[in-house]
Copies of this chain bind each other. A is one copy, B any other.
């Protein structure tokens, strides 16, 4: 599915696309800004920014929100993103369910749904799409002709041609075909990468643009974001941290055997607990279940090792944990994980915590799927 694409020549219209994205990205990260301020931040002339803003305002993507006061000179009109100016549809396919969410331009989910899937067969998914689309659009009046596209999150890793290999029957399929009934531009990513872009929207106002994201899915995934863009590797499968061997008293074991939902479920089952879903897990944690506390204590070490690996290899601003694991448990893991004292990321002027809790919920990847589309709208193609 993924193919590292060759860089293309720049034409005037591609320049404009880039600069539009740049302006939108400033507003996403910086809140309300005036034209002159945007011009200073982007290095464009105020005139260029003015033209672009007029265009974006015409498209309904932004609107004036008051004027700046308190400084000399003509007060600047402040622009903000218009949440209702555009929408993105996020879809997540899991072995047991199809999830969907509709995000507004600011990344807030305005609608979401979860449909059980007996088998995650492509035809079954395709059949559900028209109804899904209708429900989503019914939730947001006016969104119909303002849909930027649809993002799809699938369990990775991907094969070179075709889609996901973790879902049975999907190998070698074209995403465009399976999701054709949506009649939208389709962007596909693995669940961890999608979730990371979902987190990016929340982190952008804090100035976090380069980070790693540990994602609890079926196993444990890692997404790497650099300057707001995904680091995908040569074939789109970077971040398979779950396979990394971790030394234990019983010899090396894959990280995801120690730190994942399957791991906690197995541990609890062996202790005689039933923890079929996230709610049950959260309840156990809230109740101070000793078996769960035991698992957390055992998983904290591997998490610390993984954090050390990631910091040393990737030097991120922070590492975000998200995905299908109750927030309380993730918070507990973050609090007790023993971080390595020697790391290039352990710098005195660091402002971000080494580990932080992200959007921990079933919705992390669906929201991320929608964010795939928004990200394309906000992140300029031009590298620094």
Contact = CB atoms under 8 A, between A and B. Distances in A.
A382 B308 contact: no
Given A247-B252, A381-B383, A382-B383, A237 B7 contact: no
A233 interface: yes
A315 B7 contact: no
Interface stretch (A38-46, A99-107, A179-187, A264-272): A38-46
Given A4-B210, A5-B384, A48-B9, A234 B160 contact: no
A7 B42 CA distance: 7
Q: Give the residue among A9, A44, A343, A382 with the most B Cβ atoms within 10 A.
A: A9
Nearest to A18: B10
Contact of A234 (B210, B239, B252, B384): B210
A382 B344 contact: no
Q: Give the residue among A12, A22, A240 with the most B Cβ atoms within 10 A.
A: A240
A23 to B, nearest CB: 9
A317 interface: yes
A308 B244 contact: yes
Contact of A238 (B159, B233, B313): B313
A315 B240 contact: yes
Interface string A323-360: 00000000000000000101111010100000000000
A9 B19 contact: yes
Nearest to A235: B315
Contact of A4 (B6, B157, B227, B247): B227
A203 to B, nearest CB: 12
Interface string A8-47: 1111100100110010010000000000000001111000
> Size class of A's contact patch?
35 or more
Given A9-B48, A15-B10, A312 B240 contact: yes
Contacts of A10: 10, 15, 18-19, 382
Contact of A314 (B12, B229, B233): B233
A245 B210 contact: no
A149 interface: no
Contacts of A42: 7-9
A124 to B, nearest CB: 27
Contacts of A383: 7, 229, 381-383
A347 B165 CA distance: 12
A345 B226 CA distance: 21
Interface of A: 4-12, 15, 18-19, 22, 25, 41-44, 48, 157, 159-160, 209-211, 222, 224, 226-227, 229, 231-241, 243-245, 247, 252, 305, 308-310, 312-317, 340, 342-345, 347, 349, 380-384
7 contacts: A4-B227, A7-B22, A157-B344, A211-B234, A231-B231, A240-B312, A241-B312
Given A10-B15, A313-B313, 10 more contacts: A4-B210, A4-B227, A9-B22, A15-B15, A232-B315, A237-B345, A238-B344, A243-B343, A244-B313, A309-B313
